[in-house]
Amino acid sequence: MTRGSDGEAYLRIRGVTKRFGTFTALEAVDLDVHEGEFVAFLGPSGCGKTTLLRAISGLDVQSEGRIWQGGREISTLPVGERDFGIVFQSYALFPNLTIFDNVAYGLVAARRPKAEIRARVAELLQLVGLADQTAKYPAQLSGGQQQRVALARALALSPGLLLLDEPLSALDARVRARLRGEIRDLQRRLGITTIMVTHDQEEALTMADRIVVMNHGRIEQVGPPDQVYARPATAFVADFIGRMNFLPGRLLAANRAEVQGAGLAFAPPIELAPGAPVTVCLRPEDVVVRAVPETGPNVLAMQVGVMEFIGNHFQTTLHALGTSLNLSADLSINAVRDLGIAAGATIRVALPPERLRVFPQPPG
């Protein structure tokens, strides 16, 4: 992102806490969302992502904390006085109204002139690619089409904020993948500030400018998709997004750890006393098998376990000879072909130090 943090954020969330009885669903959440940004709230169910969305929309107002939108404090405003459009997983289209009437619903209530409503609805349906479906009823459309209608309806009043509550979860895989791109394009074109709640990491990684990873009512990490994926801030994020080897170890120096009999270097160093227990993380796809030098940091001789053919790559387990270190690795088809890797073979492998992530606690 090119936007600096000097300008006031479009949506400012400060110290937002939500309690249901004795259960704390959100704990002192602070977050800024900038104008035109697409932010995804990602986390397992019960992590508080939906609760945060409901606080922003005013559907379930927070117990403590304040929220500003466009410079206006909205903390205590009723839903009807806030400025957002919302799309639900269930579409929530009015079944007895035509597609036209569904999209026009908010415009009619706002007493816009008839001609203007017609033009605006046509424009919106054009935008979502359903210009020829105006006279149909929701039940006559497919799930993906219904969700597009819901999107058009949410955008009708040109809200300042678009909220998407698991918008693609009810759709099948193909439609989901296509709609993902369409929503993303639409959002870019309109430049509308958008927040999406999802439990699907792929959705978050492909669509969002920034991902907010949440767990137990707290924010674990905020950042662009590539950064969250490559440099997870906590063991939870590392585990939740993508696949990850979690290797228990012990710190030897600020940039070196002993992991199950193997000494591994990593960068950057961490500030912890030698001897401290750590968890060393490595993504299976970061295991290097091509052009590995004879010697060097983290070069190991490893034995290949059972090779599982996944389709576009092989999944396997590698065992470092002379240690008790085992880790899973993803090997590309052509690397396997070129190097003649087979189960039982011993190969030379490098674990790039800058790809290792080290967390101070043992995995939970």
Partner 1 sequence: MATLAEDRPRVGDRPAGTVRQRLGRDDLVMRGGLVLVAAWLGVAVVLPLWALLSKSVQDPDGRFVGLANFAAYAGTPALSSSIWNSVLVAAVSTVVCILLAFLFAYGLTRTCLPGKGLLKTVAQVPILAPSLLPAIALVYMFGNQGYAKNLLMGHSIYGPIGIVLGSVFWTFPHALIIITTALALSDARLYEAAAALRASRSRVFWTVTLPGARYGLISATFVVFTLVITDFGVPKVIGGQFNVLATDVYKQVVGQQNFQMGAVVGLVLLVPALLAFGVDRLVQRRQTALLSARAVPYTPKPDPLVDRVFLVVCALIAAAILVVLGTALFASLVTFWPYNLSFTLRNYDFDRMDGGGWESYRNSLTMASCTALFGTAVVFIGAWLVEKSRGFAQGRAVVHMLALLPLAVPGLVLGLGYIFFFNAPGNPLNFLYGSMAILVLCTIAHFYSVAHLTAVTALKQIDPEFETVSASLRVPFYRTFARVTLPVCLPAVLDIAMYLFVNAMTTVSAVVFLYAPSTTLAAIAVLNMDDAGDAAPAAAMAILIFATSAAVRLVYVLVTGRLLYRAQAWRRR
Q: Distance from CA of residue 277 to its chain's centroid? A: 30
**Measured distance CA(37)–CA(195) in Å, rounded:** 8
- Kindly tell me which residue out of 61, 183, 195, 235 binds partner 1, with binding defined by CB under 8 A: 61
24 binds partner 1 (CB under 8 A): no
- Kindly tell me which residue out of 210, 283, 313, 357 binds partner 1, with binding defined by CB under 8 A: 210
Write out the chain in H/E/C secondary structure. CCCCCCCCCCEEEEEEEEEECCEEEEEEEEEEECCCCEEEEECCCCCCHHHHHHHHHCCCCCCEEEEEECCEECCCCCHHHCCCEEEECCCCCCCCCCHHHHHHHHHHHCCCCHHHHHHHHHHHHHHCCCCCCCCCCHHHCCHHHHHHHHHHHHHCCCCCEEEEECCCCCCCHHHHHHHHHHHHHHHHHHCCEEEEEECCHHHHHHHCCEEEEEECCEEEEEECHHHHHHCCCCHHHHHHCCCCEEEEEEEEECCEEEECCEEEECCCCCCCCCCCEEEEEECHHHCECCCCCCCCCCEEEEEEEEEEECCCEEEEEEEECCCCCEEEEEEEHHHHHHHCCCCCCEEEEECCHHHCEEECCCCC
- Kindly tell me which residue out of 36, 70, 159, 263 binds partner 1, with binding defined by CB under 8 A: 159
196 binds partner 1 (CB under 8 A): no
Q: Which listed range, 69-77, 121-129, 176-184, 290-298, lies at the site for partner 1 (CB under 8 A)? A: 69-77
- Compute the radius of gyration of the chain from its Cα atoms: 25
Q: Binders of partner 1 among 217-246, rule CB under 8 A?
A: 219, 222-224
- Kindly tell me which residue out of 72, 131, 140, 354 binds partner 1, with binding defined by CB under 8 A: 140
- Kindly tell me which residue out of 27, 46, 122, 157 binds partner 1, with binding defined by CB under 8 A: 157
Lookup result for tokens 């002192």:
28
Neighbours of 98 (CB within 10 A): 17
208 binds partner 1 (CB under 8 A): no
300 binds partner 1 (CB under 8 A): no
Shortest Å distance, C-beta 94 to partner 1:
5
Neighbours of 194 (CB within 10 A): 26
56 binds partner 1 (CB under 8 A): no
Q: Closest CB to partner 1 among 31 and 265?
A: 31
43 binds partner 1 (CB under 8 A): no
167 binds partner 1 (CB under 8 A): no
State the number of binding residues for partner 1 (CB under 8 A).
56
- Kindly tell me which residue out of 20, 72, 94, 343 binds partner 1, with binding defined by CB under 8 A: 94
294 binds partner 1 (CB under 8 A): no
Q: Closest CB to partner 1 among 111 and 293?
A: 111
71 binds partner 1 (CB under 8 A): no
123 binds partner 1 (CB under 8 A): no
Q: Which listed range, 87-95, 183-191, 302-310, 338-346, lies at the site for partner 1 (CB under 8 A)? A: 87-95
Q: Closest CB to partner 1 among 237 and 282?
A: 237
- Kindly tell me which residue out of 27, 64, 182, 258 binds partner 1, with binding defined by CB under 8 A: 64
Q: Contact positions toward partner 1, by CB under 8 A?
A: 1, 3, 5, 9, 14-15, 30-32, 34, 57-59, 61-66, 75-82, 84-86, 88, 90-92, 94-97, 105-106, 109-110, 137-140, 153-154, 156-157, 159, 210, 219, 222-224
